[in-house]
Chains A and B, each alone.
Chain A
């Protein structure tokens, strides 16, 4: 009998996941979003192979602000660097920041939301007041204030996992300022879940509160977390771009926002260098749009009542 578990249980899960994927992939939005996302993830993973090492003022090869040509597909910037090279390297930075910030945001938001909703009472009141604080506080302004302070305290030197520490400051700041909306959604869902009879059954079965939260409530929150997580990524990309645009990015590791900032400062708009502003701008737009598309397709897949009946 013991090999039955090994044989049968993964199969049940695999079947459920397969059915879910089939449904998910049947949405046009999901297909477009996934294709774009995979494209940028690949680009972000291996920019060195696709465009060579990151160009700097020292190893720049092109003319100043040259329009797109065969040699420089997306033209060059004001110091002669290839814009394609910069954008590809920027993908790596932008996506890393956005995805890691989202992970932080989801972990913090889910933990606080589930705890508040499940325990209720005083715990709920205090955790929700904290959430309200972050909720009403415009996260962008908060990030704008915190980032330079933390950067000053931590210093800009050194390296963590091949990234400069200033990057992690931005990740943590974005993560810590965007979890409140996740916490609200998770809490409301937990409030309704904890009244369901299967929670009573789990209690009679001897599960601890922690066990109930992890084994019963969390799996039922996956739809909300996944669908909203995709939206959090989209907004994280925007916040990161905005912060970098305002000069809080790291010039030695340019993200798309940093590029936009450089382009603006170099007077790309007035000089008619549309490629310099357009390339990173279009990337930001495409990636955040693809996350929104994926998020809404996930929402439709998980929520059968919103499914379009063919």
Chain B
């Protein structure tokens, strides 16, 4: 019996992109390998829960979001939505019921809005495509409702505007309104505030939290910003090179991190007054390795200040270090 409490469950989800080899490799039938963008993730999102997926660029966090919204195809594992594996569901009409319940907020509001559509067209599109409204009156009501919920008031003033006539914050609100309009049960928000001014971020986050509180909507919040994740999320999952290295409640991850990567991420956050008293570990060196050449053993060991021999040979499993707190580090015990 699958977990019925959760709305979405990822089980060893895997997304490998084949690397296109040269003509030589193809003639010889040689396999060049794969980009292991997502390399076995287990994640559970409960109803009305806000889960933050935190990671550096290249960690595969956006790919996870794209898999959940059926924009990318997983190559392994399962993706259960209310116990039903959605991996095999393909085609826009078969996906319609799923799309009514799972929506996405895109990162780049400048790019995510068709420059030739008005705000009304943009917000109305999912309602029309997903056949959620019967007539023009209903459509206008739902669009107004969504715009108001996203904080664009009065909604009627925005109907005829084009995206280029809006400010960055307003554009992001339009993107949010488009996702809200269908009243989904799960929203995947891919860095919804990273392109915005700090002053506008708080307002947008408030909109998202309000939605959860009012409609019991689940949110998968994808970000690279650990403090932001702590601010909004109930639970935080830390992703490194396609694998979860630590998962737990927001407070646990932020104040009691048990994985050296999480610690490094936390220390990397600049703070007013300096990092005094926080430098338990030296700052991270180098870049995230390419997902095409994932290191052997623990994938974090080349950059880990605490790495020892075992880390180079064996990949640590997720070890329970506290209630609902898992860390994939040999030192976590």
- Chain A positions within 8 Å of B, measured between CB atoms, are 1-2, 4-5, 8-9, 11-13, 15-16, 196-198, 200-209, 211, 215-216, 219-220, 222
Collect the chain A residues with CB atoms within 8 Å of residue B136's CB: 2, 5
Among the 9-residue stretches B26-34, B104-112, B224-232, B276-284, the one with 4 or more Cβ atoms under 8 Å from chain A is B104-112
Q: A204-B104, A206-B92, A206-B130 are in contact. Are A1 and B137 (CB under 8 A)?
A: yes
Assembly CA distance A242 to B178 (angstroms): 54
Min Cβ gap B63→A in Å is: 13
Collect the chain B residues with CB atoms within 8 Å of residue A206's CB: 92, 95-96, 99-100, 126, 129-130
Are the C-beta atoms of B120 and A200 separated by less than 8 Å?
no
Are the C-beta atoms of B92 and A197 separated by less than 8 Å?
no
The contact of A208 among B92, B118, B121, by CB within 8 Å, is: B92
Are the C-beta atoms of B126 and A12 separated by less than 8 Å?
no
Are the C-beta atoms of A5 and B159 separated by less than 8 Å?
yes
Min Cβ gap B212→A in Å is: 19
The contact of A4 among B103, B126, B159, B178, by CB within 8 Å, is: B159
In the complex, the chain A residue whose C-beta lies closest to that of B125 is A205
Are the C-beta atoms of B126 and A8 separated by less than 8 Å?
no
Are the C-beta atoms of A9 and B125 separated by less than 8 Å?
no
In the complex, the chain A residue whose C-beta lies closest to that of B102 is A204
Collect the chain A residues with CB atoms within 8 Å of residue B92's CB: 203, 206-209
Are the C-beta atoms of A12 and B125 separated by less than 8 Å?
no
Collect the chain B residues with CB atoms within 8 Å of residue A9's CB: 118, 120-121, 159-160
Min Cβ gap B299→A in Å is: 28
Assembly CA distance A98 to B219 (angstroms): 57
Assembly CA distance A5 to B121 (angstroms): 10
Min Cβ gap A294→B in Å is: 21
The contact of B108 among A12, A197, A204, A209, by CB within 8 Å, is: A197
Are the C-beta atoms of B125 and A8 separated by less than 8 Å?
no
The contact of B129 among A12, A13, A205, by CB within 8 Å, is: A205
Collect the chain B residues with CB atoms within 8 Å of residue A222's CB: 116
In the complex, the chain B residue whose C-beta lies closest to that of A220 is B116
Min Cβ gap B143→A in Å is: 8
The contact of B159 among A12, A204, A205, by CB within 8 Å, is: A12
Q: B140: CB under 8 A from chain A?
A: yes
Min Cβ gap B129→A in Å is: 4
Collect the chain A residues with CB atoms within 8 Å of residue B162's CB: 12, 16
Collect the chain B residues with CB atoms within 8 Å of residue A11's CB: 160
Q: B114: CB under 8 A from chain A?
A: yes
Are the C-beta atoms of B99 and A205 separated by less than 8 Å?
yes
Assembly CA distance A196 to B70 (angstroms): 16
Q: A2-B136, A204-B103, A207-B125 are in contact. Are A198 and B113 (CB under 8 A)?
A: yes
In the complex, the chain B residue whose C-beta lies closest to that of A211 is B129
Q: B310: CB under 8 A from chain A?
A: no
Assembly CA distance A204 to B116 (angstroms): 18
Write out, one digit per residue, whether chain B residues 73-109 have a CB within 8 A of any chain A CB (1) or not (0).
Answer: 0000000000000000000110110011001101110
Are the C-beta atoms of A8 and B156 separated by less than 8 Å?
yes
Assembly CA distance A202 to B114 (angstroms): 9
Q: A8-B120, A9-B159, A9-B160 are in contact. Are A204 and B111 (CB under 8 A)?
A: no
